[in-house]
Structure 1
C-alpha cells in the first residue's frame, strides 16, 4: 500500500534499523487505512528517525465504526458469559504466542529497553485471563419481596464503549479496557495514542484471532482531536474509559455530560513516598530509585515526592544518587541499557524546563539535571536527584512524568502525612516503615486510591486500580472493574 509523504517539513529521517509492523485501523472486521489518505509520522524516541506512518482517521471512520458497533451490540450481548470467557482466553494465548513481537513494537515506539518490555505484555495477558473468569461469574441475585414475590436483579452490558489510552503503557492500558468490556458483553471502539500505533495494531490482531463477531472490537488510529470529539458526542456510546491527564479528563467529563455517559478515568497522579525513621534507609532508597526511573519516570503511579525522616535522610539520599548514577542510558535494543529516553520531544523539553526551575527554587542538584553528553539524537535526559526541595516548588505540586526525584525531610509523621496529602491528586502513595503502628497510621492517613507499604507492587489484575479526587474515578482490575461496564436491572416478580 503506497503511503503519501508526511506534511511535516521538519520530518526526521526514516529509520532503516529494523522492520516496523504496519499500523492499520480495524473497522467492522476489515483492516484498512484512512479514507482521506492522510498519515502521521511515528518517531523513534531513541534516534528521532521516522519508524513509519500511522493512518490519520477522522469523523468518517468514527461514523463507520459506530455503525458496526451498533450492529454488534445485540449479537455480542447475547453470547453467554462462559463463551465470552473462552474468547478472552484465546486472546490471552495469542498474546503469549506473539509476546516477543508485542515487546519489540513497544520498545520501538516508546523507547523502553527491550529487556523490560516483556513484563508489560505479561501483565496485559493477565487482564484477559482474569476477566475471562469474571465473564463466567456475571450473576444477579434474588431477594424475597416484603410485598410478596421475588425481587430479581440482572446484570446487563451498558452498551458501546469508547476507550482512549496514553502512550506510556500502550499494551496494558488497552488491555485493561478491552478485557472488562468484552467480558461484560460490550462492543468497544479503541483510540490509542498516535505514538504507539503498531503496538496497538498487534494487540487488536490478537483480539481478532479469537474470532470475535465483526464490530465487537474496533481500532481507530489518528489524532485525538480528529477522532475523540465524535466518539464522545455519539449518543450510542454509553461508556467512556480514559487514561490521560487531569486536564483532558475535565474536558471529557464536560463533553460526556451532554449525553450522560458512564465514565471511568485514570488521570494524573503525583505519588508521595514517606520514609519513616524505622525504615531500612538504603533498602528503601534502592527500591525507590528502581521504580522512580522505570520507563524514564513516565509511569502514572511513579513515586514523585520523597519525604524522608531527617535522621535517615543522608543515608537514603546517598543511596538514591548511587542508584541513579548506576543506570545506563541507551537505545531500547542495546543489551546493557537500563533506562531509555523520554518518549516524545515535548516531554523531554518539559522535564528539562522543570529541572531548571527546581534548581532555581533553591533545591540542591545532586546528580543528573541535563541531557547526557555524547548523545546528540534521541529524547534522553539524565536520571536526576534533588534534595532540600522546598514544598512550594512546582515539582512538589505537579507531576513531572520524567526521571526527576525531589527529596525533602520531616521530623513528625503527622506533618509528613499533611504534606503528602497537600496536592489535589490521589492515585498512588507509598511508605516505608518497620513499625506496625506506623504502617496502620500510614494506610489510614494517606489519601489515595492505592497505597504501597514497603512495596511498589500495587497493580494487579485481581485488585482494583484507580484513584480519588483529581486522579479520576472508577477502577480497572479486580471484581470492581467490570461493574463500570454493566447496568443493574431490577424486576419485581409477583404471582399473577
Structure 2
C-alpha cells in the first residue's frame, strides 16, 4: 500500500486533521494514491521555532555524532530501497529500476557527507607580530530552508539535508507535492537514526506561499533551491533582499556536440538511452544535439533505431524503459514544443503526439530541420524531445552552444584530445562530460553557471553554502 503522508515538525509526524489536503496522483494510471496535508501558517511558525531551538544545540554537536547519524541513514536507505523505489514509481512515474538506482545511489551521498563532515577544518594564518594568533574558523550558518523538485525526489532532498545536517545546521525542507513519498521516507529514516527533534523539519503546501513565508522569516539564514530558472531568480531576489545566502541549482539546456571522429554508434546509443531517462525530465538531460555534417545521417539513423525500440508504459511493468511524464500539466507543455517545431518547418522523425489513454504519456520524439531560434532550441523542454541539427566546424558549434543564458551541463563526443581540450576550455557550463556521463557523483561538485545557478552540491564544495567564515585574532 502507498504510505500515509504527513508533516514532520520537531520530531513529530503530523497528519492532516483540519488541514487543507491535496490528492497524490499516479501519473501512469491517474488513480488517487493518497492525500497530502498542507502546512498552515501556524505549522510553518512551529517548524521555524523548532529549527531555531534545535540549532542552539546542534551547532555544538560533535562531527562524529553527525557522521554516525548520516551513516545510519545511508544504511537504512539500502535496507529500505525496494519499498521507497516502488512508492516513488507510483507517485513520480519513473521505471522501477530507475527509482531503485536513484535510492541506492543516494546511500553514497549519506556516506560521503558522513566522512566529509568530520573534516570541516579552519586554518591558522601566520601573523606579522609573533605575539599574535590568527585563526580562521568555519561555523554552521544557522537555520536553512530548502525546496526540492519532483523529478528526483529522493536525490535532490538527501543532498540538501545531508549537507545542512553534516555542517551543523538545522533545516526546514519543502518537498515536491506531486511526488512526496521519497522525502517522507527520508524524514522517517533520520527520525529512526536518532536525529534530535527540530534538526530536520518537513512541510508541504502551496509553493509560492511557503517559500515566501520561510525566506522572509528572520529565523532562516540560508536558502537552497533546485528547480526552474524563473522561480530560482524570484527566490534568489527575495533572499537577497534579506541578505540570505543561496544555493541555486536551476534549469539547463544541455548541448550535445558529436564530432565526426567520434565512435558514432556508441555515442548515438548512449545518448538515446540517456535522453529517455526519467522521460527526459532531468535538469542535465541532453537537449540540443549538434552533429558534425559528415556523420549527421549515420548518427540520426542509429539514434532513431535505439529510440524506436524503447518500451513506454507503467514503471512497475516488466521491461518498461520509460514511464509517463510526472503530472498532467507536462503533456501540453511538451506538445507546445512540437507544435512550434511544426510551424517552423521542423520534421518529426519520431513520435510527436501524446499517447492516448490513461496516464500522462508522451513518446520519445526526434525533430530535425530546426533553426537555432526555434522554441525547442532556445527553451528547456524537460521532456523526451530531442532536436538534432548539423554543424560544420568547432568554432561555429562553440558559438552556438554558448549562445543561450543556460550553463548547467554539456556532452562532447570526440576521439581527438586537441578537440576535447579546446571544447572543455571554451564551453560555458558548470559540467563538461566527454565521451561518457560522469556527473552527479557524491565526490564531485554539481552545479551550473550563468542562469543555471549559484554554488555547487557535492564534492569538497558540498558544505560551502552552509558554513560562515569567522576570523579570530588575539594577543
Normalised by the length of structure 1, the TM-score is 0.94
Q: Distance in 1 between matches of 2:222 and 2:340?
A: 40
Shift of 1:34: 4.2
Q: Distance in 2 between matches of 1:280 and 1:197?
A: 41
What secondary structure sits across from 2:446 in the alignment?
A: coil
Q: Distance in 2 between matches of 1:105 and 1:153?
A: 45
What secondary structure sits across from 1:425 in the alignment?
A: coil
Q: What is residue 274 of structure 2 aligned with on the other side?
A: 291
Q: Distance in 1 between matches of 2:248 and 2:241?
A: 17
Q: Distance in 2 between matches of 1:431 and 1:396?
A: 17
Q: What is residue 329 of structure 1 aligned with on the other side?
A: 312
The answer to whether the Cα contact below 8 Å between 1:433 and 1:439 also exists between their aligned partners in 2 is: yes
Q: 1:25-424 maps to which residues of 2 (within 5 A)?
A: 25-34=7-16, 36-148=18-130, 149-372=132-355, 375-424=356-405
Q: Distance in 2 between matches of 1:87 and 1:380?
A: 40
Q: Distance in 1 between matches of 2:63 and 2:324?
A: 43
Unaligned runs of 5+ in 1: 1-18
Query: Does 222-231 or 64-73 show the bigger shift?
Result: 222-231
Shift of 1:225: 2.7
Deviations 1:147-206 (A, max 9, x none): 332211111000001010000000000011000101100001010110112221111101
What secondary structure sits across from 1:151 in the alignment?
A: strand
Return structure 1 stretches of 4+ with deviation > 4 angstroms.
Answer: none
Q: Distance in 2 between matches of 1:159 and 1:34?
A: 29
The answer to whether the Cα contact below 8 Å between 1:113 and 1:333 also exists between their aligned partners in 2 is: yes
Q: Distance in 2 between matches of 1:225 and 1:489?
A: 34
Q: What is residue 10 of structure 1 aligned with on the other side?
A: none
The answer to whether the Cα contact below 8 Å between 2:19 and 2:40 also exists between their aligned partners in 1 is: no
What secondary structure sits across from 1:426 in the alignment?
A: coil
Q: Distance in 1 between matches of 2:439 and 2:239?
A: 30
The answer to whether the Cα contact below 8 Å between 2:23 and 2:36 also exists between their aligned partners in 1 is: yes
Q: Distance in 2 between matches of 1:56 and 1:487?
A: 33
Normalised by the length of structure 2, the TM-score is 0.98
Shift of 1:493: 2.1
What secondary structure sits across from 1:314 in the alignment?
A: helix
Shift of 1:64: 0.3
Equivalent residues, number: 474
Unaligned runs of 5+ in 2: none
Shift of 1:138: 1.1
Q: Distance in 2 between matches of 1:310 and 1:326?
A: 25
What secondary structure sits across from 2:153 in the alignment?
A: coil
Q: Distance in 1 between matches of 2:238 and 2:16?
A: 25
The answer to whether the Cα contact below 8 Å between 2:88 and 2:99 also exists between their aligned partners in 1 is: yes
Shift of 1:35: 6.0
Shift of 1:36: 3.9
Q: What is residue 5 of structure 1 aligned with on the other side?
A: none
Q: Distance in 1 between matches of 2:189 and 2:327?
A: 27
Q: How well do the aligned residues superpose, as a CA RMSD in angstroms?
A: 1.0
Query: Does 142-151 or 459-468 show the bigger shift?
Result: 142-151
Deviations 1:218-239 (A, max 9, x none): 1102221332111010111110
The answer to whether the Cα contact below 8 Å between 2:448 and 2:454 also exists between their aligned partners in 1 is: yes
The answer to whether the Cα contact below 8 Å between 2:254 and 2:286 also exists between their aligned partners in 1 is: yes
Q: Distance in 1 between matches of 2:238 and 2:19?
A: 29
Q: What is residue 8 of structure 1 aligned with on the other side?
A: none
Q: Distance in 1 between matches of 2:265 and 2:259?
A: 12
What secondary structure sits across from 1:153 in the alignment?
A: strand
Shift of 1:430: 0.8
The answer to whether the Cα contact below 8 Å between 2:310 and 2:321 also exists between their aligned partners in 1 is: yes
The answer to whether the Cα contact below 8 Å between 1:181 and 1:485 also exists between their aligned partners in 2 is: yes
Q: What is residue 452 of structure 1 aligned with on the other side?
A: 433
Q: Distance in 1 between matches of 2:241 and 2:397?
A: 41
Deviations 1:373-411 (A, max 9, x none): xx4110001100111221110100000000001000011
The answer to whether the Cα contact below 8 Å between 2:144 and 2:171 also exists between their aligned partners in 1 is: yes
Q: Distance in 2 between matches of 1:199 and 1:463?
A: 23
Q: Distance in 1 between matches of 2:298 and 2:199?
A: 54
Shift of 1:60: 1.4
Q: Distance in 2 between matches of 1:242 and 1:35?
A: 29
What secondary structure sits across from 2:329 in the alignment?
A: helix
Shift of 1:37: 2.3
